[in-house]
Structure 1
Amino acid sequence: MKQFNNFLIQLREAIAEENIQLNVEMKEHTSFRVGGPVDVLVTPIDYNEIINTIKLCKDYKVPFYIIGNGSNLLVKDGGIRGVVIKLTKLDNITVDGTMITAQGGATIAKTSRVARDVSLTGLEFACGIPGSIGGALAMNAGAYDGEMSMVVKNSIVLDEQGNLLKLNKDELELEYRMSAILKNNYVVLEVTFDLKKGDYEKIKNRIDELMKRRREKQPLEYASAGSTFKRPVGHFAGKLIQDSGLKGKSVGDAEVSIKHSGFIINKGNAKAKDILDLIKIVQSTVKEKFNVDLNPEVRIIGEDKEEKN
């Protein structure tokens, strides 16, 4: 405890007080709206604050986690011991000709709208993806026949030793829901996109069309983390789940969406344990019926809550 208190003293000297919060419920910082408390939440306003926070965590052996806006995150009910570094205050987006550079905490959807407003085409697919730029790059996020690898030029990242690296598209090793970011625990500070000049009305109409399709087919009225499972090779997760008779299956307030079986939703008061139990039911049922393994796309972190006798 003394070491942790010393850590907090040092952290407050390195980071502005208003960017540090203690004992924060993570359900307030995830799109699933579940998750217990984190010991310390840091919301840096510049790259130095990220670097300083990570250095202190390492010096004092305090575990830390980097998140964007928590849209692909499931935090367990026992919460998180250590520090969560949330990058959403690093959300600057700039345009230079056909290049757009966005900081890691900006959302990919907002970046898509910025591209639209300056008549740049290529990011329309991302108009409804709720994740941050950093998370989208790490997962090589995609939708509607587009993905990050198709438009990324380069990225500035922070490695585990605190070094700034500039990686080109090949060095980012972008694959289906995988990248060098995840393999090497890099922190995405900014991403530059290489887009093309387009027609504003065509870009706007395409974005409007995709947003309409998303609203019609996805359960956006409920809290969720988007698609719960990765797409198995040769299959679609949602169809496997639906064909297994699991549409509408629930545990507590966690439910396999009736609107889209690929989504597990929080109907209001679900606990992380409810969602995790439902994920296991879906995995075991699909495995039994189709001999296909479903792997979560959502990132699961934190501790289980101790049950009181």
Structure 2
Amino acid sequence: MEQLKQQLRAEGIAYRENEPLAAHCTFKIGGPADVFAQPETEEQLCRTIALCRECGVKYYLLGNGSNILFEDAGYHGVVIDTTALKMGIGILENVYHPGAAPGEVYDAVAAGAGLKLSALCAAALENGLTGLEFAYGIPGTVGGAVYMNAGAYGGEMKDVLDKVTYLTQDGQIVTEEAAKLDLAYRHSIFEENGGCILSAQFHLKRGDPEAIRARMNELMAKRVEKQPLDKPSAGSTFKRPAGAFAAALIDQCGLRGYRHGGAAVSEKHCGFVVNMGGATCADVLALCDEVRAIVKEKTGYELEKEIRVVKA
């Protein structure tokens, strides 16, 4: 690790030691990272990963910190903060799209992986581009959203994704079409291939800015009304089982408000586990196990966690 830190300093890549990970995730849970690196360019990001591999140090790529749960012991390696990347948005107007109907015009929108999804949605609105309304209000970065094929209100990232540029495990930068990324419900090929997403390109249709704004505001109002946005959480805790809804099953089993330590099933939305104050990773995992067991016993449904636990 000392050799790695020396090389990071030599190459001007910013980092901190023993950085509390609770400060960098939406659950506000997690111990310290041995090293918390903050590359500012795509080149620095690729170099940081290369140095970790050369030095035999494990690493974790962190976006906005939503949908994840860090262990109480933290992370014994390097957490790489992609939100520090200085990468903007590029728009190529009037591009060919095979699904375009007569009179429809599409623009190609490219964004860096570290860009917040909210910023991408805002840019789409500003330019009168429709297709990302569903993503407005989803916490996270572009890279994280593509990685898990994030979605809400009937839309998913795969609906508008064209291609992704990423760093392979052997250090090559490649660009792959969306059709080859095994995009499915909360899944992509990046869960298996270990690739580091650098940027993504989307196809967005030109539309009426006021209609786009109205739809975004409508969906945000639904989020505020139904989701426990006032308490720390990792978002939706369980994946949707076939033929049912996790929140409805949990509520049906009388688990609304169910607690274990500082973690609780949200009173407002049973699909969320929230941090009531001082919750630990152990609290959350124990609560999830208890909820899964009760739901399985009472309904026969097997719930699968949507949040990803980052092992120390």
Same fold (TM over 0.5): yes
Residue aligned with 2:305, SS: coil
TM-score (norm 2): 0.93
Distance 2:4 2:216 in 1: 46
User: Which is further off, 7-16 or 109-118?
Assistant: 7-16
Aligned to 2:116: 107
Q: Pick from 10, 27, 37: which aligns with 2:22?
A: 27
Aligned to 1:130: 139
Amino acid across the alignment from 1:233: A
User: What 5-or-longer segments of structure 1 have no aligned partner?
Assistant: 304-309
Residue aligned with 2:179, SS: helix
User: Which is further off, 54-63 or 73-82?
Assistant: 54-63
Amino acid across the alignment from 1:247: R
Distance 2:263 2:109 in 1: 38
Amino acid across the alignment from 1:109: S
Q: Does residue 90 of structure 2 align to residue 81 of structure 1?
A: no
CA-to-partner distance for each residue in 1:192-236, whole Å, 9 max, x for gaps? Answer: 110000001100000000000110000001100100011111111
Aligned to 2:164: 155
Aligned to 1:211: 220
Q: Does the CA-based 8 Å contact 1:75-1:300 persist in structure 2?
A: yes
Aligned to 2:306: 297
TM-score (norm 1): 0.94
Q: Does residue 143 of structure 2 align to residue 146 of structure 1?
A: no
Q: Does the CA-based 8 Å contact 1:120-1:195 persist in structure 2?
A: yes
1:93 is displaced (CA, Å) by 1.9
1:109 is displaced (CA, Å) by 2.0
Aligned to 2:100: none
1:268 is displaced (CA, Å) by 2.1
Residue aligned with 2:212, SS: helix
Amino acid across the alignment from 1:7: L
CA-to-partner distance for each residue in 1:219-275, whole Å, 9 max, x for gaps? Answer: 001100100011111111111111111110011221100110000001222111111
- Number of paired residues? 298
CA-to-partner distance for each residue in 1:56-96, whole Å, 9 max, x for gaps? Answer: 11111111111101011100111110000110022422222
Aligned to 2:46: 51
Q: Does the CA-based 8 Å contact 1:14-1:53 persist in structure 2?
A: no
Q: Does the CA-based 8 Å contact 1:241-1:286 persist in structure 2?
A: yes
1:48 is displaced (CA, Å) by 1.4
Aligned to 2:7: 10
Q: Aligned-residue CA RMSD in angstroms?
A: 1.0
Q: Pick from 85, 89, 113: which aligns with 1:93?
A: 89
Distance 1:157 1:269 in 2: 37
Residue aligned with 1:88, SS: helix
Q: Does the CA-based 8 Å contact 1:26-1:35 persist in structure 2?
A: yes
1:51 is displaced (CA, Å) by 1.4
User: Which is further off, 78-87 or 176-185?
Assistant: 176-185
Residue aligned with 2:254, SS: coil
After TM superposition, list the pairs within 5 Å mapping 1:183-222 onto structure 2. Answer: 183-222=192-231
Q: Does the CA-based 8 Å contact 1:160-1:186 persist in structure 2?
A: yes
Aligned to 2:98: none
Aligned to 1:70: 65
CA-to-partner distance for each residue in 1:274-305, whole Å, 9 max, x for gaps? Answer: 111111111111111122211111110133xx
Amino acid across the alignment from 1:67: L
Aligned to 2:235: 226
CA-to-partner distance for each residue in 1:21-41, whole Å, 9 max, x for gaps? Answer: 100000000000000000000
Amino acid across the alignment from 1:9: Q
Distance 2:128 2:139 in 1: 21
Q: Which runs of 4+ in 1 moved over 3 A?
A: none
Distance 1:30 1:42 in 2: 15
1:15 is displaced (CA, Å) by 3.5
Residue aligned with 1:155, SS: strand
Distance 1:59 1:77 in 2: 28
Distance 1:86 1:167 in 2: 23
Residue aligned with 1:61, SS: coil
Q: Pick from 231, 236, 252: which aligns with 1:243?
A: 252
Distance 1:10 1:113 in 2: 38
1:113 is displaced (CA, Å) by 1.4
Residue aligned with 1:81, SS: strand
Classify 1:289/1:192 alpha carbon distance in 2 versus 1 (closer, same or farther; 3 Å): same
CA-to-partner distance for each residue in 1:154-175, whole Å, 9 max, x for gaps? Answer: 1111110111010111112211
Residue aligned with 2:169, SS: coil
Distance 1:127 1:7 in 2: 38
